Amino acid sequence: MTLFSMQNPWKVNSSASAFNPPSFSIGEPVPDPPDPPDPASPLSPVQFPHLSSTTKIVSKTSSSLKKALKTHVIPTTAPAENSFSSSVSAHGILDLKESKGSWTVADAVDYNGLPADKSKTGGWITAAFILGIEVVERLSTMGIAVNLVTYLMETMHLPSSNSANIVTDFMGTSFLLCLLGGFLADSFLGRFKTIAIFSTIQALGTGALAVATKLPELRPPTCHHGETCTTATAFQMTFLYIALYLIALGTGGLKSSISGFGSDQFDDKDPKEKAQMAFFFNRFFFIISMGTLMAVTVLVYIQDEVGRSWAYGICTVSMAIAIAVFLSGTKSYRYKKSQGSPVVQIFQIIAASIRKRKTELPQSIVYLYEDTPEGLRIEHTDQFRMLDKAAVVTEGDFEQTLDGIAIPNPWKLSSVTKVEEVKMMVRLLPIWATTIIFWTTYAQMITFSVEQASTMRRNVGNFQIPAGSLTVFFVAAILITLAFYDRVIMPFWKKWKGKPGFSSLQRMAIGLVLSTVGMAAAAIVEQKRLLVAKSSTQKILPISVFQLVPQFFLVGSGEAFIYTGQLDFFITQSPKGMKTMSTGLFLTTLSLGFFVSSFLVSIVKKVTATSVNGGWLADNINHGRLDLFYWLLAILSGINFVVYVICALWFKPTKGKDSEEMEKGKGFSVEDC
C-alpha cells in the first residue's frame, strides 16, 4: 500500500518545517504573564492546561508587550515530533532512509523529482562532469586576462593606462556578477540551470572574441615600431566590449554555482560520501590551478605564436564540449531545491529595526522574541543593539492566516537567532573592507607587470617566453606555497603550538604583508628597468625579464595565504543559511580590488600628467614613472595592514561546527561557494 502519493517535490509546500510550534487564534484568552522571577534564580515554565504544549512566559512586560501577549502566545520550545512528521524534510520531501536503508538522500531528488537513489545518482562521475565546466572556464578567463593588455596595446593601439583599466574592469565585473549568479541560483533557477545558462553565455562570448581577433575589419591596421598608429574605432571597441562582457557574465554566473553543485553530488550525512566530498574539493582546487597553468603557458603561447583567434577558438570548442558532457549527466545528478536568498531576511530585519527605532529595548533579553528550536539557536550578543529592536514584540506584529492562526509578520518581527545571523554578517564587514587592497596589488600582476615583461629580454636559448606567460611564476608560487604550508608549516605549528596551522585571520595578515613587500620589490625592479631604458633605443631592453620573478612570487605566495584565509573566514564565521551570500561577499573583495585599481590608475594618470609628459603612467611606460605608482601601492598596502590588524583584534570569532572542524584540521564544507 502506498504511504502517500509521490508528487513532484518542487511543488510541495516549501513552508513545511521540522519545527512547527503550536499556533493560536487571535483573541484566544490567555492568562496574564506572571511577575518576572528573581534574576539569580532559574526560570520556571508556566503550565497552561488548556494549551497543547508548555509555553514559557518569562516575565511581565511593558504595557504594549503585555497587550500583544494577551492575544498571542509565543512558544519558545518545540513540540515533540511524531514519527510521520520526522520523516518529512523541511522541503516536503519524504525521507525514505528509514524504509530503504541508506540508499536515498534525504535532502536531494533525482531528475524525476523523486528522492535521489545513491546507487543511481551523484558520486564521483557526476562531480567530474561538473568539474570539466570549471576547468574550461578557468582556462578561458585566465588565458584571456593575462595576455589581454598586450593585445589592447599592440593590436588595438590603446594607451597603457587605458589598456590596464579595460583588463581590471573586465575582471572586476566577472567577480561582481558572481552575486547575480548566486542570487538567481538561490532564488529562481537552481544551480543546474544556472550553470547550463551561464556556461553557454561564456561560450558565446569566447566565440565572439575569436571572431573579433580574426576579422581585419574588427581591428585597426598594423603599424611598426616608430610609426604613428591608428587607434581602434568606436565600432571595433564596441564589438570587443560585447565579447568581453559576455565572458564576464558567463564567468560570474558559473563561479557562484559550480562548487556548490559539485558538493550536492555527495551526501554529507554519509561518512563515506562526506570523505569523498572533502577529497573532491582538494582535487577541485588542484585541477583548476592546473587549468590556470595551462592558460598562462600553452594558451598564451598559441595566442602569440599561432594566432589569438585560434586560441580563443580552442576555448570556445572546449567549452561547447564541456557543456555537452555536463548536460549528458542530467539524469544522473542529485538536485537540491533552491532555499531562497538570505538578502530578503537581512532587509526584513533592517526594516523591522527602523520601524521600531523609537521602541525602547527591554532591560533583559528574555523579553525578546525567539521561536528557533533550542539546538539551532544563536547566543545573543550585545553588539549592534539597534538590530535587537527587530525582536521586540509590539502590537500588530502578528497576522492571522485563513485558518485563523496567528503568525509573526517577518517584516515586523524577527527571532533573536535571525537577528544574530545578520549581526554575524555585519561583523565580517571590517575584515572584508581591509582585504580589498590585496586584490588591487594582484591586478598589477596581469596588467603593468605583463607590460614590463614585454619590454625586457625574454629569451631562453632560442626560445622567447611570451610576456603573458611570466604569470606562470605567479601560479607556481601559489602551488609551492600551499605545498610548503601543508607539508612543513602545519606539522611544525602543530608540534610547537598544538594547533594544525595558522588561523584564517593570521593567514590573511601574512598575505597582506607579502603583497606589500611584493609591491616594494616591483618598484625597485622598475627603477632598474627605467635606468636601462634611458640609455637604450631598442624596443626590447637589454635587461632580463627574470628580474620580475620576485614580485610575481611574493604576490603569488600572498594569494595562497589570503585566498584560503578569506574562504575559511567567510564560510566558518557566517550563519549556515547565509554561506552562499558570505562567499559572494568574499568574491566582491576581488571585484572591488580590480575596480580600485582602475580608479587609482585614472586618478594618478590625471593628477601626474602634464602638457610636457604623460606623468607616472605615460602611454609608453619607458617614458613614465611606474616605479612611483608601485611605491604608492606599497604605502597604501602598509597603511591598510595597520587598519586590518586593528579590525582583526576587534573581531570576536564565532565558534561553530565549521570552525571547530577547521581547527581540528578536518577542513570544512564549501558546498555553498
Q: Which residues contact 16 (CB under 8 A, 6 or more apart)?
A: 88, 89, 90, 91, 92
pLDDT at 654: 66
Mean pLDDT for 478-502 is 86
> pLDDT-derived band of residue 265, with 50, 70 and 90 as boundaries?
confident
Higher pLDDT, 673 or 626: 626
**Cα dihedral 144, 150, 152, 156 in deg (nearest 10):** -120
Question: What is the per-residue pLDDT across 513-561, written as a single tens digit (0 to 9) for each?
Answer: 999 999 999 999 999 999 999 888 788 899 999 999 999 999 999 999 9
- Any idea how long the chain is? 673
Q: Which residue has the higher pLDDT, 627 or 658?
A: 627
Query: Can you give the pLDDT at residue 11?
Result: 34
Please give the pLDDT value at position 35: 46
Its pTM stands at: 0.75
Higher pLDDT, 345 or 553: 553
Q: What is the pLDDT of residue 22?
A: 37
Element (H, E) at 516: helix 504-534
Q: Is the pLDDT assigned to residue 261 strictly greater than 60?
A: yes
Rounded average pLDDT over 458-462 = 87
The rounded percent of the chain whose pLDDT value lies above 90 is 38
Alpha carbon distance 545, 193 (integer Å): 45
**What mean pLDDT is predicted for residues 336-341?**
74
Q: Which residue, among 133, 332, 268, has the nearest Cα to 672 in the 3D structure?
A: 268
Pairing of strands 459-460, 463-464: antiparallel
Whole-number Cα distances in Å, 596 to 171, 385, 440, 633: 12, 33, 6, 11
> DSSP string covering 554-588, please?
HHHHHHHHHHHHHHHHHHHTS-GGGHHHHHHHHHH
Looking at CATH, the fold of the domain delimited by 118-340 is given as: Growth Hormone; Chain: A; (1.20.1250)
Residue spans per domain, the chain:
118-340, 342-423
Q: What pLDDT digit, counting tens, does each position of 276-292 carry?
A: 777 777 677 777 778 88
Q: 3-state SS of 289-327?
A: HHHHHHHHHHHHHHHHHCCHHHHHHHHHHHHHHHHHHHH
Q: Which residue type, as a one-letter code, is found at position 71?
A: T
Instruction: Using the predicted structure, report yes or no on whether residue 96 has a pLDDT greater than 50.
Output: no
Backbone Cα Rg of the chain:
29
pLDDT digits 0-9 by tens, 597-628: 999 999 999 999 886 777 899 888 898 999 99
Residues 6+ away with beta carbon under 8 Å from 422: 345, 346, 349, 350, 387
Task: Flag whether pLDDT at 63 surpasses 70.
Answer: no
Average pLDDT, the chain: 80
Supply the pLDDT for residue 236: 94
pLDDT value at 92 more than 70: no
How many Cβ atoms from other residues are within 10 Å of residue 140's Cβ? 28
96-100, 473-477, 543-547, 592-596 — which is least confidently predicted? 96-100
Q: What's the Cα-to-Cα distance from 367 to each of 4, 35, 69, 273, 437, rounded to whole Å? A: 42, 13, 11, 43, 43
Mean local confidence (pLDDT), 386-415: 88
